[in-house]
Amino acid sequence: MPIEIGRPLHDIFKYHNGYKAVEWKNWIILFSLPLLKAYLDKRHFQGWANFVKVVKLCLEPEISEE
């Protein structure tokens, strides 16, 4: 497992109240798309995918207009 992932995630259904920022970041950008694809209809999945893109953009150290 890559070091930037950190420790394995806790069960999101049981422990989401105790998630730290890094756990939410990992859930959103690494795990959510493949895990939610089977549960969301196409429209909602695309909206979530757009949210994931925005989160990744916000995590960049520098944002340009490119």
- pLDDT of 42 reads 97
Read off the pTM. Answer: 0.74
Residue 66 has pLDDT above 80, yes or no: no
Give the Cα separation of 41 and 17 in Å (integer). Answer: 26
CA 65 distance to own-chain centroid: 23
- Rounded CA gap, 57 and 45, in Å? 18
pLDDT tens for residues 6-65?
555 666 666 677 778 888 898 899 999 999 999 999 999 999 999 999 999 999 998 887
**Secondary structure of residue 9 in the 3-state scheme:** coil
Query: What angle (nearest 5°) sits at the alpha carbon of residue 29, between those of residues 23 and 34?
Result: 110
